Amino acid sequence: MEKTFKYLPVFFLVFIGTVILSISFEIKGKSLFFSSAHAGFFDRDLELFEETVELVAEKYVYPPNFKTLFEGAIEGMVKSIDDEKLAHKKRPEFQTLTWKGRTLRFHLTYEHQENFASFVNVYNFLVDEFEGKASKSKLEQAAIRGLMDTLDPYSQFMDNEVFSRSMRDTEGKYGGLGMLITMRDKRLEVVDTMRNSPARRAGIKAGDIFVSADGKDVANIQIEELADRLRGYPDTQVKLSLKRPSDESIQEYTLTREIIEIETVRYETLDGLVGHISITSFSKQTDNQLEDAFKQAKKDKVKGFILDLRDNPGGLLTQSVKVAGHFLSPNRLVVYTRGRDKQDYSEYRAEYDNSQRNTPVVVLVSGSSASASEIVAGALRDVGKALILGETSYGKGSVQTIFRISDGAGLRLTTSKYYTPSGIDITEHGIIPDIMVETDLGKDVAEEGIPEDDIYHKKKTTLPGFPSLRLKEKDVEKIVIQSGGKLDRGHDALLGLAQMALKNINTADKKNTLEKVRELAANIIY
C-alpha cells in the first residue's frame, strides 16, 4: 500500500517531497549539530545518504536499529566495489577493511552519531583507495540500498529514473506493452493482455512463460525487475522470447512500447443476472472505471456482483477505500492504520450515499491478492454481507510512503500497518475466506503427514475468521459441471461457484450465500 507526499500530502499513495532535515554526529566525544544548510559532511557529500537515515529514523514503522542500518550501508558499499582483495572482517569489538596493506579499523554501536562518524571514515577510505573505480555517487547509492535492505521487502531506494517511472505508474498511464504478469511456481508468466495493446496485437496469450527480454535470461529475476525491463519510453522497442505451454514452442516478439492507459476494471454480465467485476490493481483510474461498470450493470439489471480480486497486488490506499465504500453504508469504517507512535493513527471510512450495499456480493481472493485488495476484502468480510471465496490472501498489511529526496530520487518506506475494521492484522494473518478453496491441499497434507481433517487443527484457536467451509478445487469443478456450468480459461471453477451462490439470492446477506454453497457441496456426486 502506498501514499505520496511532497513535503505535505499530495495524494495518498506513498511519496514525499524534499524535506528539511538535520544531522548530528560525534567527534572526539563532542556532540555537534548541523542544520540542513550544512548537511553533507565533506563538500555536501553524502547529503542523500543523510536524508535517508533521517527519514528512516523519523518515519519508519519500527524504531530503527542504527547498528544494523549502518552495517547494511557499509556492506552495500563494499559489495559495490566487487573486488576480492578488499577484505571486510567483523569482530565483536571492531571491524576492519583491508586493501593493499592499508587497514581501516572502525566500530559500530547502537548510536546514530557514532555510527555516522565511522561510516564517513569507511566512505572516505573507499573513495581514496578506489579512485576512478568507485565514484562518490555510486558508493553513496550503494550505501543507501544496503541500508534499505536491512528494513523490509517493501522499503527501497529509487534513483531518479525509477522514481519518475513509479510516479507515472500511479497516474494509471505508462509506456509499456500492455501485459499483466505474475510469478507462479517460480516462473514469470503472462496473466492477461490489455485491449488494443502491443502485447495483444502481437498474439501474446495468458499463460505464456517468459524466457528472455532483450536477449537476457529472466529465469532467476524478480517480477519487479522484469517489469522494469518491459516498461520504457514510448516508441522504443523490446525483444521478448516466451514459451507457450500448450505446445512447448518458443515464440519470438519485437514489440514497440506505447502509452498504456491501465485498464484496472473489467466488467461482464454472466447469464444476464450477475455482474462479474474484475479489478486487477488500484490506480488513480480504478474508481472511475468501477463507476462505469456500475452504470452498465444498472442497464443490464443484474441482481448481484462477483468482485474478483484474485492476483490483485494492490495499489493506492485511497482507491481501495473508495472501492470498498461502494458496498458499505456511508461512514462505515473501511480500514485503519497505525504507525510507530500512538498518535500515528488514521481511519478511512465509506463515503458514498448511493452505494451497492443492498446488492448481494461474492468476493474472490487468491494467495496473490495483496495490500489494497486485502483492504477491500477485509472490510466487506467484516461487515457480514459479502461472502469471501478462494484462498487465504497474501498478507501484505503495511503502508509505504514514497518520499521525494535530493537529486530527483525517492524513498519507498514502510511507515505504518493497516487493520481491518474488526482489528485483524493483515500482515500476520492475511484475509481468510469464508469458503476456502485450495488447489494443492492434498499434496501439502501428504507431505506434512497430517490427516487432512486436522490440517488447521493447531490454528483453529488463533486464525481470525476460520473458514466456515473448505473445498478442494476438484470438488468445486464437480459442483459447477454437475450444475450445468461451463469451465474454460475465462470462466474457471471458482467463478462458476460464485455465480451459482448468487443465483436466486436477493439480499446482501452472507449467511444466505454461504448456505447456498453448503447445499451445492452436499450434493457432489463422486
Residues with catalytic roles: 371, 382, 396
What is the DSSP code string of 209-252?
EEEEETTEE-TT--HHHHHHHH--STT-EEEEEEEETTTTEEEE
Please give the helix or strand (H or E) that residue 411 lies within, else none. strand 410-419
Strands 304-308 and 361-365: parallel
List of residues 6+ apart from 467 with CB closer than 8 A? 432, 433, 434, 435, 436, 456
Show the CA angle centred on residue 81, arms to residues 75 and 82, nearest 5°: 95
Radius of gyration, alpha carbons of the chain? 26
Determine the Cα–Cα distance for residues 104 and 95; give it in Å rounded to an integer.
8
Determine the Cα–Cα distance for residues 127 and 326; give it in Å rounded to an integer.
57
215's grid cell? 536477449
> Helix, strand or coil for residue 365?
strand
Q: Which amino acid is at 31?
A: S
The single residue listed with the C-alpha cell 472490510 is 379
For the chain, the maximum distance between any two Cα atoms, rounded to a whole number of angstroms, is 82
CA distances for 146 relative to 73, 116, 152, 403, angstroms: 5, 15, 12, 18
Residues 170, 284: contact at Cβ < 8 Å?
A: yes
Determine the Cα–Cα distance for residues 146 and 154; give it in Å rounded to an integer.
14
User: Which of 177, 247, 241 is CA-nearest to residue 215?
Assistant: 241
Strands 216-217 and 249-256: unpaired
Q: Which amino acid is at 492?
A: D
Residues 355, 395: contact at Cβ < 8 Å?
A: no
Burial of residue 52 (CB within 10 Å: 0-12, 13-18, 19+) is buried
Residues 376, 356: contact at Cβ < 8 Å?
A: no
Q: Which amino acid is at 205?
A: K
Determine the Cα–Cα distance for residues 174 and 40; give it in Å rounded to an integer.
35
Residues 410, 163: contact at Cβ < 8 Å?
A: yes
What is the DSSP code string of 242-309?
EEETTTTEEEEEEEE-EEEE---EEEEEETTTEEEEEE--B-TTHHHHHHHHHHHHHHHT-SEEEEE-
User: Which of 64, 63, 61, 50 is CA-nearest to residue 20?
Assistant: 50
Q: What single-letter DSSP state applies at residue 332?
A: -
152's grid cell? 523490509
